[in-house]
Amino acid sequence: MIDTVLNYFNNSSAITYVVLGLLSVYLIMVLWIFIYKNLSLNSMINTEKKSLESLTSRNSQLSPLSKLSACSDVTNSKEILHACEISIIREASTGVSWMSIVSSTSPFIGLFGTVVGILESFAKFSSHSKVGFSIIAPAISEALVATAAGIFVAIFAYTFHQILIRKVYELNTFLKAQSEILIAKG
């Protein structure tokens, strides 16, 4: 297995290194954003959930840990609470759009690497008078590694994007419920 990988890299061109390097950076970035945002969103969701439970219980007060507590005043204006919700959601969703960008661009980066790899393979074969499938197939399969890498990165980026978007939606639900209760209580 290691021999196959080393042989692949020995026969690869500079474009292949660039494409696989960029896709590696994409993958590291996606993993870092997901881990960071997932932890922070889970923390925010738990805080807002406890605050909502506190608001609906006998206590009937907004938790001071809630992000809405900074916007809540004596009047509990609907407009102010709504603006605060938007600000909190905007803050919570920063970085998530990068997941969407990576999931949509990484297959094209991989495809670019494949196309260049196939073109280089055909350029090598142009000097041969007779080329059979047994010579062309390995070259094309090596070129397809870039597409596979691009799709691999896109799968994780898209999946993580959907998970984080769902968590932002859940946070938004807790914030809206608290706002509605605060407005109703006046």
Q: pLDDT tens digits for 67-91?
A: 888 776 666 788 888 888 999 999 9
> What are the domain boundaries of the chain?
2-185
**pLDDT of amino acid 59:** 65
Retrieve residue 1's tokens. Answer: 């297995």
Average pLDDT (139-159) is: 90
Residue 51 CA to residue 48 CA, distance in Å, equals: 5
Tell me what pLDDT residue 44 has: 93
Angstrom distance (rounded) from CA 121 to CA 10 = 14
C-alpha to C-alpha distance for 79 and 106, rounded to whole angstroms: 41
pLDDT value at residue 73: 67
For the stretch 20-67, pLDDT in tens is 899 999 999 999 999 999 999 999 999 999 988 888 886 677 777 888
State the DSSP string of the chain: -HHHHHHHHHH--HHHHHHHHHHHHHHHHHHHHHHHHHHHHHHHHHHHHHHHHHHHSTT-S--TTSGGGGT--SS--HHHHHHHHHHHHHHHTTTHHHHHHHHHHHHHHHHHHHHHHHHHHHHHHTT-S---HHHHHHHHHHHHHHHHHHHHHHHHHHHHHHHHHHHHHHHHHHHHHHHHHHHHH-
Q: Is the pLDDT of residue 11 over 90?
A: no
Locate 111 and state its tokens: 């495809």
